Structure 1
Protein backbone atom coordinates (compact mmCIF):
# COMPACT_ATOMS: atom_id res chain seq x y z
CA UNK A 1 0.00 0.00 0.00
CA UNK A 2 1.25 3.45 -0.88
CA UNK A 3 2.18 5.56 2.17
CA UNK A 4 2.32 8.97 0.42
CA UNK A 5 -0.81 10.76 1.63
CA UNK A 6 -0.91 13.15 -1.34
CA UNK A 7 -0.40 10.47 -3.99
CA UNK A 8 -2.67 7.62 -5.01
CA UNK A 9 -1.04 4.50 -6.41
CA UNK A 10 -3.19 2.95 -9.10
CA UNK A 11 -2.87 -0.60 -10.38
CA UNK A 12 -4.43 -1.11 -13.82
CA UNK A 13 -4.94 -4.27 -15.82
CA UNK A 14 -7.05 -5.15 -18.82
CA UNK A 15 -7.98 -8.20 -20.86
CA UNK A 16 -8.10 -10.85 -18.16
CA UNK A 17 -10.33 -12.98 -20.44
CA UNK A 18 -11.45 -15.22 -17.59
CA UNK A 19 -12.93 -18.46 -18.96
CA UNK A 20 -14.43 -21.60 -17.53
CA UNK A 21 -11.91 -24.08 -18.94
CA UNK A 22 -8.38 -23.10 -17.96
CA UNK A 23 -8.86 -23.15 -14.17
CA UNK A 24 -6.67 -20.06 -13.76
CA UNK A 25 -7.21 -18.06 -10.58
CA UNK A 26 -6.41 -14.40 -10.09
CA UNK A 27 -6.66 -14.51 -6.29
CA UNK A 28 -2.92 -14.39 -5.66
CA UNK A 29 -2.53 -11.59 -8.18
CA UNK A 30 -5.27 -9.54 -6.52
CA UNK A 31 -3.63 -10.07 -3.12
CA UNK A 32 -0.31 -8.88 -4.56
CA UNK A 33 -1.96 -5.83 -6.10
CA UNK A 34 -3.64 -5.02 -2.80
CA UNK A 35 -0.21 -4.91 -1.15
CA UNK A 36 1.18 -2.55 -3.80
CA UNK A 37 -1.62 -0.16 -4.72
CA UNK A 38 -4.47 1.93 -3.32
CA UNK A 39 -6.98 1.27 -6.11
CA UNK A 40 -7.34 -1.35 -8.85
CA UNK A 41 -8.73 -0.38 -12.27
CA UNK A 42 -9.99 -3.17 -14.55
CA UNK A 43 -9.89 -2.12 -18.21
CA UNK A 44 -12.43 -4.43 -19.83
CA UNK A 45 -12.53 -7.85 -21.48
CA UNK A 46 -12.76 -9.23 -17.99
CA UNK A 47 -14.46 -12.39 -19.27
CA UNK A 48 -13.72 -14.31 -22.46
CA UNK A 49 -17.26 -14.70 -23.80
CA UNK A 50 -19.44 -12.72 -21.40
CA UNK A 51 -20.78 -15.87 -19.72
CA UNK A 52 -22.24 -15.66 -16.24
CA UNK A 53 -20.00 -18.51 -15.10
CA UNK A 54 -16.93 -16.56 -16.17
CA UNK A 55 -18.15 -13.46 -14.34
CA UNK A 56 -18.84 -15.53 -11.23
CA UNK A 57 -15.29 -16.92 -11.27
CA UNK A 58 -13.83 -13.43 -11.50
CA UNK A 59 -16.16 -12.08 -8.82
CA UNK A 60 -15.04 -14.88 -6.50
CA UNK A 61 -11.38 -14.05 -7.14
CA UNK A 62 -12.05 -10.36 -6.49
CA UNK A 63 -12.89 -11.25 -2.89
CA UNK A 64 -9.11 -11.52 -2.38
CA UNK A 65 -8.71 -7.84 -3.29
CA UNK A 66 -8.66 -5.64 -0.18
CA UNK A 67 -8.56 -2.29 -2.00
CA UNK A 68 -11.32 -0.50 -3.98
CA UNK A 69 -11.90 -1.88 -7.49
CA UNK A 70 -13.25 0.24 -10.35
CA UNK A 71 -13.59 -0.74 -13.97
CA UNK A 72 -15.43 -1.03 -17.26
CA UNK A 73 -16.58 -3.87 -19.47
CA UNK A 74 -15.02 -4.72 -22.84
CA UNK A 75 -16.34 -6.10 -26.12
CA UNK A 76 -15.76 -9.72 -24.99
CA UNK A 77 -18.03 -9.10 -22.01
CA UNK A 78 -20.87 -8.43 -24.49
CA UNK A 79 -20.42 -11.57 -26.59
CA UNK A 80 -23.24 -13.61 -25.00
CA UNK A 81 -25.65 -10.68 -25.10
CA UNK A 82 -25.98 -10.32 -21.34
CA UNK A 83 -23.64 -7.50 -20.28
CA UNK A 84 -26.12 -6.33 -17.66
CA UNK A 85 -25.92 -9.70 -15.90
CA UNK A 86 -22.13 -9.73 -16.14
CA UNK A 87 -22.04 -6.24 -14.65
CA UNK A 88 -24.43 -7.25 -11.86
CA UNK A 89 -22.27 -10.22 -10.88
CA UNK A 90 -19.10 -8.14 -10.86
CA UNK A 91 -20.77 -5.45 -8.76
CA UNK A 92 -21.72 -8.13 -6.25
CA UNK A 93 -18.05 -9.14 -6.25
CA UNK A 94 -17.05 -5.63 -5.16
CA UNK A 95 -16.28 -3.87 -8.45
CA UNK A 96 -17.65 -0.37 -9.09
CA UNK A 97 -18.71 -0.23 -12.73
CA UNK A 98 -17.93 3.23 -14.07
CA UNK A 99 -20.12 3.15 -17.17
CA UNK A 100 -23.10 4.88 -15.56
CA UNK A 101 -21.36 6.63 -12.68
CA UNK A 102 -18.20 8.40 -11.64
CA UNK A 103 -16.71 7.83 -8.18
CA UNK A 104 -14.15 9.41 -5.88
CA UNK A 105 -11.55 7.30 -4.10
CA UNK A 106 -9.04 8.96 -1.76
CA UNK A 107 -9.72 12.41 -3.31
CA UNK A 108 -9.13 11.12 -6.87
CA UNK A 109 -12.03 10.95 -9.31
CA UNK A 110 -12.62 7.98 -11.59
CA UNK A 111 -14.78 8.09 -14.71
CA UNK A 112 -14.96 5.55 -17.48
CA UNK A 113 -16.82 3.82 -20.29
CA UNK A 114 -16.23 0.85 -22.53
CA UNK A 115 -15.74 3.10 -25.53
CA UNK A 116 -16.21 1.95 -29.10
CA UNK A 117 -14.55 1.76 -32.51
CA UNK A 118 -14.48 4.47 -35.17
CA UNK A 119 -10.90 5.39 -35.95
CA UNK A 120 -8.50 8.20 -35.16
CA UNK A 121 -7.94 11.73 -36.40
CA UNK A 122 -8.53 12.23 -40.12
CA UNK A 123 -9.33 8.52 -40.42
CA UNK A 124 -12.29 8.76 -38.06
CA UNK A 125 -15.53 7.50 -39.59
CA UNK A 126 -18.19 10.18 -40.04
CA UNK A 127 -21.98 9.87 -39.85
CA UNK A 128 -22.69 10.13 -43.58
CA UNK A 129 -24.51 7.86 -45.97
CA UNK A 130 -26.33 4.69 -45.06
CA UNK A 131 -28.41 4.40 -41.91
CA UNK A 132 -26.18 1.54 -40.73
CA UNK A 133 -23.13 3.84 -40.84
CA UNK A 134 -24.97 6.53 -38.90
CA UNK A 135 -26.01 3.99 -36.25
CA UNK A 136 -22.40 2.79 -36.00
CA UNK A 137 -21.06 6.33 -35.53
CA UNK A 138 -23.82 7.21 -33.08
CA UNK A 139 -22.66 4.38 -30.81
CA UNK A 140 -19.16 5.86 -30.80
CA UNK A 141 -20.54 9.33 -30.09
CA UNK A 142 -22.75 8.00 -27.30
CA UNK A 143 -19.79 6.41 -25.50
CA UNK A 144 -17.88 9.70 -25.70
CA UNK A 145 -20.93 11.59 -24.39
CA UNK A 146 -21.26 9.22 -21.43
CA UNK A 147 -17.58 9.72 -20.63
CA UNK A 148 -17.92 13.49 -20.83
CA UNK A 149 -20.98 13.42 -18.56
CA UNK A 150 -19.08 11.35 -16.00
CA UNK A 151 -16.12 13.70 -16.08
CA UNK A 152 -18.36 16.73 -15.75
CA UNK A 153 -19.88 15.29 -12.57
CA UNK A 154 -16.49 15.22 -10.81
CA UNK A 155 -15.05 18.18 -8.91
CA UNK A 156 -11.76 16.55 -7.95
CA UNK A 157 -8.39 18.12 -8.70
CA UNK A 158 -7.16 14.76 -10.02
CA UNK A 159 -9.18 12.43 -12.21
CA UNK A 160 -8.37 9.13 -13.92
CA UNK A 161 -10.24 7.85 -16.98
CA UNK A 162 -10.74 4.09 -17.37
CA UNK A 163 -11.57 2.73 -20.85
CA UNK A 164 -11.47 -0.49 -22.81
CA UNK A 165 -11.06 0.88 -26.34
CA UNK A 166 -8.12 3.17 -27.04
CA UNK A 167 -8.53 6.96 -27.32
CA UNK A 168 -5.34 7.55 -29.35
CA UNK A 169 -3.51 5.67 -32.12
CA UNK A 170 -0.12 5.76 -30.38
CA UNK A 171 -1.06 3.06 -27.85
CA UNK A 172 -2.37 0.68 -30.50
CA UNK A 173 0.85 0.92 -32.52
CA UNK A 174 2.16 -2.62 -32.96
CA UNK A 175 -1.19 -3.93 -34.12
CA UNK A 176 -1.78 -4.29 -37.88
CA UNK A 177 -2.52 -0.77 -39.21
CA UNK A 178 -5.53 -2.13 -41.09
CA UNK A 179 -7.38 -2.77 -37.81
CA UNK A 180 -6.58 0.55 -36.08
CA UNK A 181 -10.15 1.87 -36.73
CA UNK A 182 -11.52 -1.15 -34.83
CA UNK A 183 -9.34 -0.57 -31.76
CA UNK A 184 -10.67 2.77 -30.61
CA UNK A 185 -11.81 6.28 -31.37
CA UNK A 186 -10.42 9.80 -31.12
CA UNK A 187 -13.82 10.89 -29.84
CA UNK A 188 -12.82 9.47 -26.46
CA UNK A 189 -9.67 11.60 -26.42
CA UNK A 190 -11.72 14.65 -27.40
CA UNK A 191 -13.85 14.13 -24.30
CA UNK A 192 -10.78 13.67 -22.10
CA UNK A 193 -9.11 16.82 -23.37
CA UNK A 194 -12.05 19.00 -22.36
CA UNK A 195 -11.15 18.51 -18.68
CA UNK A 196 -7.93 19.87 -17.21
CA UNK A 197 -8.21 17.72 -14.08
CA UNK A 198 -7.71 14.45 -16.01
CA UNK A 199 -4.22 13.26 -15.07
CA UNK A 200 -4.13 9.82 -16.72
CA UNK A 201 -6.09 7.48 -18.99
CA UNK A 202 -5.85 3.68 -18.83
CA UNK A 203 -7.28 1.27 -21.39
CA UNK A 204 -6.87 -2.25 -22.77
CA UNK A 205 -8.04 -4.06 -25.92
CA UNK A 206 -4.89 -3.71 -28.08
CA UNK A 207 -2.98 -6.85 -27.04
CA UNK A 208 -0.01 -6.07 -29.28
CA UNK A 209 -0.09 -2.34 -28.80
CA UNK A 210 2.25 0.16 -27.15
CA UNK A 211 2.29 0.95 -23.45
CA UNK A 212 2.33 4.75 -23.42
CA UNK A 213 1.19 7.76 -25.43
CA UNK A 214 -0.47 11.16 -24.97
CA UNK A 215 -3.61 12.95 -26.07
CA UNK A 216 -3.32 16.17 -28.08
CA UNK A 217 -3.52 18.14 -24.81
CA UNK A 218 -0.74 16.02 -23.35
CA UNK A 219 -2.69 13.75 -21.00
CA UNK A 220 -0.74 10.48 -20.47
CA UNK A 221 -2.48 7.40 -21.88
CA UNK A 222 -1.46 3.87 -20.85
CA UNK A 223 -2.36 0.64 -22.63
CA UNK A 224 -2.77 -1.71 -19.68
CA UNK A 225 -3.73 -4.86 -21.57
CA UNK A 226 -1.98 -7.52 -19.51
CA UNK A 227 -0.02 -8.75 -22.54
CA UNK A 228 1.46 -5.30 -23.16
CA UNK A 229 2.22 -4.64 -19.49
CA UNK A 230 3.76 -8.09 -18.92
CA UNK A 231 6.16 -7.58 -21.81
CA UNK A 232 7.28 -4.24 -20.37
CA UNK A 233 7.37 -4.89 -16.62
CA UNK A 234 7.34 -8.66 -16.15
CA UNK A 235 4.03 -8.45 -14.29
CA UNK A 236 0.53 -8.22 -15.78
CA UNK A 237 -0.51 -4.93 -14.20
CA UNK A 238 0.72 -1.35 -14.41
CA UNK A 239 1.42 0.81 -11.36
CA UNK A 240 0.82 4.53 -11.70
CA UNK A 241 1.16 7.34 -9.16
CA UNK A 242 -1.64 9.88 -9.53
Structure 2
Protein backbone atom coordinates (compact mmCIF):
# COMPACT_ATOMS: atom_id res chain seq x y z
CA UNK A 1 0.00 0.00 0.00
CA UNK A 2 1.51 3.32 -1.10
CA UNK A 3 0.54 6.31 0.98
CA UNK A 4 1.43 9.86 -0.05
CA UNK A 5 1.76 12.26 2.88
CA UNK A 6 2.28 16.00 3.14
CA UNK A 7 1.63 18.73 5.70
CA UNK A 8 1.75 22.51 5.99
CA UNK A 9 0.25 23.44 2.63
CA UNK A 10 -0.86 26.82 4.06
CA UNK A 11 -3.35 27.50 1.27
CA UNK A 12 -4.09 31.25 1.04
CA UNK A 13 -7.29 32.87 -0.13
CA UNK A 14 -5.44 34.86 -2.80
CA UNK A 15 -4.95 31.51 -4.62
CA UNK A 16 -1.30 32.45 -5.21
CA UNK A 17 -0.27 28.77 -5.23
CA UNK A 18 -2.21 25.89 -6.75
CA UNK A 19 -1.64 22.32 -5.62
CA UNK A 20 -3.86 20.77 -8.27
CA UNK A 21 -1.03 19.41 -10.43
CA UNK A 22 0.67 17.89 -7.38
CA UNK A 23 -2.56 16.21 -6.25
CA UNK A 24 -3.14 14.85 -9.76
CA UNK A 25 0.38 13.41 -9.72
CA UNK A 26 -0.20 11.88 -6.28
CA UNK A 27 -3.38 10.28 -7.58
CA UNK A 28 -1.29 8.39 -10.12
CA UNK A 29 1.50 7.41 -7.71
CA UNK A 30 -0.27 6.49 -4.46
CA UNK A 31 -3.31 4.64 -3.13
CA UNK A 32 -4.18 7.10 -0.34
CA UNK A 33 -3.29 10.73 0.39
CA UNK A 34 -2.64 11.89 3.98
CA UNK A 35 -2.71 15.60 4.89
CA UNK A 36 -1.15 16.25 8.30
CA UNK A 37 -2.45 19.69 9.23
CA UNK A 38 -1.99 23.40 8.50
CA UNK A 39 -4.00 22.88 5.36
CA UNK A 40 -4.96 26.57 5.33
CA UNK A 41 -2.88 29.60 6.22
CA UNK A 42 -5.35 31.44 8.45
CA UNK A 43 -8.17 28.95 8.92
CA UNK A 44 -10.54 30.81 6.58
CA UNK A 45 -13.38 28.89 4.88
CA UNK A 46 -12.39 30.39 1.52
CA UNK A 47 -8.92 28.88 1.90
CA UNK A 48 -10.51 25.50 2.58
CA UNK A 49 -12.68 25.92 -0.52
CA UNK A 50 -9.60 26.51 -2.67
CA UNK A 51 -7.97 23.39 -1.23
CA UNK A 52 -11.14 21.39 -1.89
CA UNK A 53 -11.10 22.56 -5.52
CA UNK A 54 -7.49 21.44 -5.95
CA UNK A 55 -8.26 18.05 -4.40
CA UNK A 56 -10.98 17.24 -6.92
CA UNK A 57 -8.55 15.76 -9.42
CA UNK A 58 -6.76 13.57 -6.91
CA UNK A 59 -8.94 10.52 -7.52
CA UNK A 60 -7.83 8.59 -4.39
CA UNK A 61 -9.09 8.68 -0.77
CA UNK A 62 -7.88 11.65 1.26
CA UNK A 63 -7.55 11.52 5.04
CA UNK A 64 -6.01 13.95 7.50
CA UNK A 65 -6.18 16.33 10.44
CA UNK A 66 -6.20 20.07 11.00
CA UNK A 67 -3.26 22.06 12.38
CA UNK A 68 -2.81 25.16 14.50
CA UNK A 69 -3.09 27.52 11.51
CA UNK A 70 -6.48 26.01 10.68
CA UNK A 71 -7.75 27.31 14.05
CA UNK A 72 -6.58 30.92 13.63
CA UNK A 73 -9.91 32.49 12.56
CA UNK A 74 -12.18 30.48 14.88
CA UNK A 75 -13.90 28.97 11.85
CA UNK A 76 -12.95 25.34 12.46
CA UNK A 77 -16.51 24.10 12.00
CA UNK A 78 -16.81 25.82 8.61
CA UNK A 79 -13.39 24.64 7.45
CA UNK A 80 -14.20 21.10 8.56
CA UNK A 81 -17.55 21.19 6.78
CA UNK A 82 -15.99 22.37 3.51
CA UNK A 83 -13.33 19.67 3.49
CA UNK A 84 -15.67 16.86 4.51
CA UNK A 85 -18.16 17.92 1.86
CA UNK A 86 -15.31 17.60 -0.64
CA UNK A 87 -14.89 13.96 0.45
CA UNK A 88 -11.93 14.28 2.79
CA UNK A 89 -11.89 12.06 5.88
CA UNK A 90 -11.02 14.77 8.40
CA UNK A 91 -10.19 13.22 11.77
CA UNK A 92 -10.28 14.76 15.23
CA UNK A 93 -10.19 11.88 17.66
CA UNK A 94 -11.82 9.55 15.13
CA UNK A 95 -10.55 6.68 13.04
CA UNK A 96 -11.31 5.30 9.59
CA UNK A 97 -10.27 2.24 7.61
CA UNK A 98 -9.38 2.81 3.94
CA UNK A 99 -8.31 0.03 1.62
CA UNK A 100 -7.39 -2.19 4.54
CA UNK A 101 -5.33 0.42 6.41
CA UNK A 102 -6.59 2.00 9.63
CA UNK A 103 -6.03 5.70 10.24
CA UNK A 104 -6.36 7.45 13.60
CA UNK A 105 -5.93 11.20 13.78
CA UNK A 106 -5.78 14.24 16.06
CA UNK A 107 -4.20 17.66 15.85
CA UNK A 108 -2.07 17.07 18.93
CA UNK A 109 -0.63 19.92 20.98
CA UNK A 110 2.52 21.42 22.48
CA UNK A 111 4.16 20.55 25.79
CA UNK A 112 7.74 19.42 25.16
CA UNK A 113 9.57 16.13 25.07
CA UNK A 114 10.88 13.48 27.43
CA UNK A 115 11.84 14.51 30.95
CA UNK A 116 11.44 18.15 29.95
CA UNK A 117 7.73 17.91 29.23
CA UNK A 118 5.72 20.70 30.83
CA UNK A 119 4.17 19.53 34.12
CA UNK A 120 0.76 20.42 35.47
CA UNK A 121 2.03 22.67 38.25
CA UNK A 122 1.68 26.31 39.16
CA UNK A 123 -0.54 28.81 37.46
CA UNK A 124 -3.95 27.84 36.05
CA UNK A 125 -2.76 28.86 32.58
CA UNK A 126 0.06 26.30 32.72
CA UNK A 127 -2.30 23.63 34.02
CA UNK A 128 -4.73 24.41 31.19
CA UNK A 129 -1.96 24.04 28.63
CA UNK A 130 -0.92 20.65 30.02
CA UNK A 131 -4.56 19.56 30.17
CA UNK A 132 -4.95 20.34 26.48
CA UNK A 133 -1.89 18.26 25.65
CA UNK A 134 -3.20 15.35 27.73
CA UNK A 135 -6.64 15.66 26.15
CA UNK A 136 -5.22 15.39 22.63
CA UNK A 137 -3.27 12.27 23.62
CA UNK A 138 -6.44 10.75 25.09
CA UNK A 139 -8.36 11.50 21.90
CA UNK A 140 -5.65 9.72 19.91
CA UNK A 141 -5.84 6.75 22.27
CA UNK A 142 -9.60 6.50 21.80
CA UNK A 143 -9.20 6.65 18.03
CA UNK A 144 -6.54 3.93 18.01
CA UNK A 145 -8.70 1.69 20.20
CA UNK A 146 -11.43 1.76 17.55
CA UNK A 147 -9.20 0.17 14.90
CA UNK A 148 -8.90 -3.54 14.18
CA UNK A 149 -6.96 -3.30 10.91
CA UNK A 150 -3.64 -5.12 10.65
CA UNK A 151 -1.95 -1.98 9.32
CA UNK A 152 -2.37 1.29 11.26
CA UNK A 153 -1.16 4.84 10.60
CA UNK A 154 -1.40 7.62 13.19
CA UNK A 155 -1.83 11.15 11.83
CA UNK A 156 -0.96 14.18 13.98
CA UNK A 157 0.07 17.74 13.26
CA UNK A 158 2.30 18.37 16.27
CA UNK A 159 5.41 16.21 16.57
CA UNK A 160 5.30 13.20 18.91
CA UNK A 161 9.09 12.96 19.26
CA UNK A 162 12.03 15.35 19.58
CA UNK A 163 14.07 13.67 16.84
CA UNK A 164 12.03 14.96 13.91
CA UNK A 165 12.06 18.58 15.12
CA UNK A 166 15.87 18.63 15.16
CA UNK A 167 17.03 21.67 13.23
CA UNK A 168 14.43 24.01 14.69
CA UNK A 169 15.57 26.62 17.24
CA UNK A 170 15.92 24.98 20.67
CA UNK A 171 13.86 27.77 22.21
CA UNK A 172 10.70 26.63 20.41
CA UNK A 173 11.00 22.87 20.93
CA UNK A 174 8.29 22.83 23.64
CA UNK A 175 5.85 24.41 21.19
CA UNK A 176 6.46 21.91 18.39
CA UNK A 177 4.94 18.83 19.99
CA UNK A 178 4.66 16.54 22.96
CA UNK A 179 6.00 13.15 24.00
CA UNK A 180 2.53 12.38 25.37
CA UNK A 181 1.54 11.54 21.81
CA UNK A 182 4.40 9.06 21.46
CA UNK A 183 3.53 7.46 24.80
CA UNK A 184 0.04 6.82 23.49
CA UNK A 185 1.23 5.54 20.12
CA UNK A 186 3.60 3.06 21.73
CA UNK A 187 0.71 1.35 23.49
CA UNK A 188 -0.76 0.24 20.16
CA UNK A 189 0.42 -1.74 17.10
CA UNK A 190 1.04 1.32 14.92
CA UNK A 191 3.03 0.90 11.70
CA UNK A 192 3.85 4.55 11.06
CA UNK A 193 3.18 8.09 12.26
CA UNK A 194 3.06 11.22 10.10
CA UNK A 195 3.18 14.80 11.34
CA UNK A 196 4.03 18.30 10.20
CA UNK A 197 4.43 21.64 12.01
CA UNK A 198 8.26 21.53 12.26
CA UNK A 199 9.16 23.10 8.90
CA UNK A 200 12.90 22.96 9.58
CA UNK A 201 13.06 19.57 11.26
CA UNK A 202 14.16 16.26 9.79
CA UNK A 203 12.25 13.64 7.85
CA UNK A 204 12.43 10.49 9.95
CA UNK A 205 12.75 9.26 13.51
CA UNK A 206 11.30 6.66 15.87
CA UNK A 207 9.26 6.65 19.05
CA UNK A 208 10.87 5.14 22.16
CA UNK A 209 8.95 1.96 21.29
CA UNK A 210 10.41 1.85 17.76
CA UNK A 211 7.49 3.11 15.67
CA UNK A 212 8.61 4.99 12.56
CA UNK A 213 7.76 8.70 12.60
CA UNK A 214 7.81 10.86 9.46
CA UNK A 215 7.85 14.66 9.40
CA UNK A 216 6.07 15.39 6.13
CA UNK A 217 5.96 19.18 6.34
CA UNK A 218 6.08 20.50 2.78
CA UNK A 219 9.54 22.10 3.18
CA UNK A 220 11.19 19.00 4.61
CA UNK A 221 13.59 17.23 2.23
CA UNK A 222 12.21 13.78 1.51
CA UNK A 223 13.59 10.66 -0.19
CA UNK A 224 11.05 11.11 -2.98
CA UNK A 225 12.68 14.42 -3.91
CA UNK A 226 9.20 15.91 -3.96
CA UNK A 227 7.14 18.01 -1.51
CA UNK A 228 5.27 14.88 -0.45
CA UNK A 229 6.52 11.60 0.97
CA UNK A 230 5.64 8.16 -0.35
CA UNK A 231 5.33 5.55 2.40
CA UNK A 232 4.88 1.84 1.79
CA UNK A 233 2.75 0.35 4.56
**Is TM more than 0.5 here?**
yes
Deviations 1:91-140 (A, max 9, x none): 11111011142000111100010000000001100111111111110000
Between the two proteins, the alignment pairs up a number of residues equal to: 233
Q: What secondary structure is seen at the aligned counterpart in 2 of 1:140?
A: helix
Q: Which residue of 2 aligns with 1:3?
A: none
Q: What secondary structure is seen at the aligned counterpart in 2 of 1:159?
A: strand
Distance verdict in 2 for CA 1:233–1:241, change over 3 Å: closer
1:1-242 residue pairs with structure 2 within 5 A?
Answer: 8-196=1-189, 198-229=190-221, 233-242=224-233
Q: What secondary structure is seen at the aligned counterpart in 1 of 2:191?
A: strand
Q: What secondary structure is seen at the aligned counterpart in 2 of 1:228?
A: coil
* Aligned partners of 2:224 and 2:230 also within 8 Å: no
Give TM-score scaled by structure 2 length: 0.98
Give TM-score scaled by structure 1 length: 0.94
Greater mean deviation of Cα atoms: 167-176 or 97-106: 97-106
* Aligned partners of 1:38 and 1:68 also within 8 Å: yes
Deviations 1:144-180 (A, max 9, x none): 0000000000011110001100000000000001110
* Aligned partners of 1:13 and 1:226 also within 8 Å: yes
In structure 2, runs of 5+ residues without a counterpart are none
In structure 1, runs of 5+ residues without a counterpart are 1-7
Please state how far the C-alpha of 1:35 moved relative to its aligned partner.
Answer: 0.4
Q: Which residue of 2 aligns with 1:5?
A: none
Give runs of ≥4 in structure 1 deviating > 6 Å.
none
Cα distance in 1 between the residues matched to 2:227 and 2:9: 9
Deviations 1:25-60 (A, max 9, x none): 111111100100000000100000001110110011
